[in-house]
Amino acid sequence: MHFTYCPHCGTKTGKKEIGDEGVIPFCEKCNIPLWDTFTTSIIAAVVNEQNEIALLRQNYVSSTKYVCVAGIMKIGESAEGTVVREIKEEIGLDVENVQYIKSYPYEKKEMLMLGYKAVVKKDDFRLSKEVDSANWVKFEEALARLREGSIAFDIKPVCVYSVLGKNRVNETGEESFGMLYYAEIKTFEQELHSEMEQVLLLDELPGKWTYPQIQPLLVDEVRNYIAGLRIYCADREKT
């Protein structure tokens, strides 16, 4: 949520530089900064002792694909408490163990999603009114049943890089820094974000680059990173 008016007094916000945070909305009347806010949610892979995961059908989300248990954190509630509550509310099962996996921003709905693995004993589901149906699905079959638009990926930092000189996004020419990441993508969204026109999967590198001075070098860094991973995994297997 981005504040145009102060939620405390209703005054239209101005802008003020706040330390390292940069320029943000500020209410002069209340003398407080108004940080952008987001909703914190959990999403849980509910698994049982038979290597199955609980997948839900919620027709208001999709009438053809399944989803995992998810929900909004309440004030005063821990993320783990939200996991336990949502699983009990949506499918009627008691959680034996909760393990945090990772977090990711869901920009489309201004949410921060906290991902968990929740272990339960296999039992019949007792569904809430929000859930139309639920099934126990083997791990290897689950990905194909998940809702279209879901993204499955794993992302790892590779290196910090810098660019010096003027270009179309840096008119001053001062040195700017960026972070290079390597992502293992398993599924893509069906719809692209507004700033993207097209995503291509290529067998070889393109001949034309947007930034030919830096992008090929970054690709080489990723190649070296992948080669290092393979060597590390091979050594682990030997030991």
CA-derived radius of gyration, the chain: 23
Asked if the model's pLDDT at residue 149 lies above 50, the reply is no
DSSP 88-147: HHHH----SEEEEEEEEEEGGGTEEEEEEEEE---------TT-SEEEEEEHHHHHHHBP
Q: How many residues does the structure list for the chain?
A: 239
Q: Quick one: tokens of 34? A: 């108004």
* Average pLDDT rounded to a whole number, residues 143-155: 62
Q: Are 131 and 57 in contact (CB under 8 A)?
A: yes
**Which residues partner with 57 through β-bridges?**
133
Q: Quick one: tokens of 57? A: 């059908």
Domain definitions of the chain by residue range:
1-37, 39-149, 153-238
| pTM (2 d.p.) | 0.58
pLDDT tens digits, 187-201: 666 666 555 677 778
pLDDT range class, residue 41, cuts 50, 70, 90: very high
DSSP 1: -
Q: What is the dotted CATH code of the domain comprising 39-149?
A: 3.90.79.10
pLDDT tens digits, 162-175: 777 766 656 676 77
Confidence at residue 46, expressed as pLDDT on a 0 to 100 scale: 94
The percentage of residues in the chain with a pLDDT greater than 70, rounded to a whole number, is 85
* Average pLDDT rounded to a whole number, residues 35-63: 88
How far apart (Å, rounded) are the C-alpha atoms in residues 42 and 99? 12
Strands 97-106 and 111-119, bridge-based pairing? antiparallel
Q: Quick one: tokens of 187? A: 């599924």
The percentage of residues in the chain with a pLDDT greater than 90, rounded to a whole number, is 39
Measure the CA angle with vertex 184, ends 213 and 134; round to 5°.
150
Residue 169 φ/ψ, nearest 5 degrees: -115, 5
CA torsion through residues 62, 120, 42, 99, sign: negative
Mean pLDDT for all residues in the chain: 83
pLDDT tens digits, 67-122: 899 999 999 999 999 999 999 999 999 999 999 988 888 877 888 999 999 999 99
